[in-house]
Copies of this chain bind each other. A is one copy, B any other.
Amino acid sequence: MRIGVLGAGQLGRMLALAGYPLGVHCVFLDRNSDAPTAGLGRLMVGGFDQPERLAELAGEVEVLTFDVENVPAAALRAAGVEPLCRPGLLALETAQDRLAEKRCFESLEIEVAPYRTVDSAADLQAALKTVGYPAVLKTRRLGYDGRGQRFIHHPEQAAAALRELGGIDLILEGFVPFEREVSLLGVRSPRGAMAFYPLSENHHAQGILRLSRSPAPNSALAETAREKVERLLVHFDYAGVLAVEFFESEGRLIANEMAPRVHNSGHWSIEGAVTSQFENHIRAILDLPLGRTDALGSSAMVNLIGEIPALGDLLAIPGLHLHTYDKAARERRKLGHATLVAPDDQSLEIPLKQLLRLTAGQR
């Protein structure tokens, strides 16, 4: 069986690696001919906006799925490949636009932070009055890893933030004074089977995920999160893995954003869960039975950003699982991750400290 993957980054790489044992092979479409998936399935070089390339890819595979969510839905429709897309285009388009996403969350009674759309300086002034300080001005589209965001703590920061983000198609969000950030991944197959991973606790630095712990210590809200993700899966008649990020604030979960694909905060599942998010995404989009999602213990996943420490140092940490992405080193770039799995949170402490020491100062 063959699946087409739009984008050939590290998520595509790990999908391909999960596919081989199932006899499932990936064909990738990406502009970058030197992608992290190199050697792991045929790579078609081209843009997502080229209907002829999309149609060519679709002709070779049984379903199409996504390594990135910023794929133009119009091009997919023009190429006539919409019926092959898993997840479907409604989920994709909703996740691409912060406004559509928030409205979708609200329609499903999933709480979000207060927000206002901003398309001018006047809009921003009005929005700041409603939302209050501090607030975060964000582009509606194409933001990732903290890009396309500006904090506004004082009125005098407003004009610069507006200018830097382009002045239009923005959204102002009230800052939620959260205790922590968490995420939950659900997976659904076309026949309606669903499974949910444990809640993950996520720590970011400079907008990039650094550390994720799963199951999140003290995850009293896991069931609440699970219900919210389930509502989204059903709403979209979803196929594949869906990740939803939340702020945890005074016993409540406030949805931040969703990703209609496998997610960085689920990388721990390769070793830490019975079935990895990558294998379950493949099972789901091919409508095969889903695999069990229970955790095998306590996991910690640390991203390797900007550089990968010496292999000998990393692998000397007992029980460490390394995942490099074969990407050229560059500041703020995710080059790999490392996962530790232990029977409980306490036995995770020593190796996790070693790993955090080894990766301290990464940027």
Complex-state Cα separation, A324 to B20, whole angstroms: 7
Decide: B316 and A21 in contact? CB cutoff 8 A.
no
A121 proximity list for chain B (CB < 8 A) = none
List residues 317-362 of chain A with CB under 8 A from any CB of chain B: 318-324, 326, 336, 341
Query: Given A39-B39, A41-B39, A312-B289 in contact, is the A23-B324 Cβ separation under 8 Å?
Result: yes
Query: Given A296-B296, A323-B21, A326-B23 in contact, is the A283-B13 Cβ separation under 8 Å?
Result: no
CB distance from A190 to the nearest CB of B (A): 13
Complex-state Cα separation, A324 to B21, whole angstroms: 5
Complex-state Cα separation, A48 to B316, whole angstroms: 35
Complex-state Cα separation, A296 to B295, whole angstroms: 12
CB distance from A264 to the nearest CB of B (A): 15
Query: Given A39-B41, A40-B40 in contact, is the A21-B288 Cβ separation under 8 Å?
Result: no
User: Whose C-beta in chain B lies nearest to the C-beta of A287?
Assistant: B312
For the complex, is A74 an interface residue (Cβ under 8 Å from B)? no
Complex-state Cα separation, A312 to B17, whole angstroms: 20
For the complex, is A51 an interface residue (Cβ under 8 Å from B)? no
For the complex, is A180 an interface residue (Cβ under 8 Å from B)? no
List residues 12-66 of chain A with CB under 8 A from any CB of chain B: 13, 17, 20-23, 25, 39-41
For the complex, is A167 an interface residue (Cβ under 8 Å from B)? no
A132 proximity list for chain B (CB < 8 A) = none
For the complex, is A274 an interface residue (Cβ under 8 Å from B)? yes
CB distance from A237 to the nearest CB of B (A): 21
For the complex, is A78 an interface residue (Cβ under 8 Å from B)? no
Complex-state Cα separation, A187 to B183, whole angstroms: 39
A292 proximity list for chain B (CB < 8 A) = 318-319
Contact with B along A74-91 (1 / 0, CB 8 A): 000000000000000000
Which of B17, B22, B316 meets A311, CB within 8 Å?
B22
Query: Given A20-B13, A21-B321, A39-B39 in contact, is the A312-B326 Cβ separation under 8 Å?
Result: no
For the complex, is A148 an interface residue (Cβ under 8 Å from B)? no
User: Whose C-beta in chain B lies nearest to the C-beta of A315?
Assistant: B289
Decide: A288 and B274 in contact? CB cutoff 8 A.
no
User: Whose C-beta in chain B lies nearest to the C-beta of A26?
Assistant: B39
For the complex, is A114 an interface residue (Cβ under 8 Å from B)? no
Complex-state Cα separation, A44 to B148, whole angstroms: 47
CB distance from A41 to the nearest CB of B (A): 6
Complex-state Cα separation, A13 to B39, whole angstroms: 13
Other A-B pairs beyond A17-B17, A21-B322, A288-B315, 12, CB < 8 Å: A13-B20, A17-B20, A23-B336, A39-B40, A39-B41, A274-B341, A283-B315, A289-B315, A289-B316, A291-B315, A291-B320, A292-B318
16 A-B contacts, Cβ less than 8 Å apart? A13-B20, A20-B40, A21-B321, A21-B322, A22-B324, A23-B311, A23-B324, A23-B326, A39-B41, A40-B40, A274-B319, A283-B315, A288-B311, A288-B312, A291-B315, A291-B319
Which A positions have Cβ atoms within 8 angstroms of B? 13, 17, 20-23, 25, 39-41, 274, 283, 288-289, 291-292, 296, 308, 311-312, 315-316, 318-324, 326, 336, 341
Question: Closest 6 CB pairs between A and B?
Answer: A23-B324, A289-B316, A21-B323, A289-B315, A288-B315, A292-B319
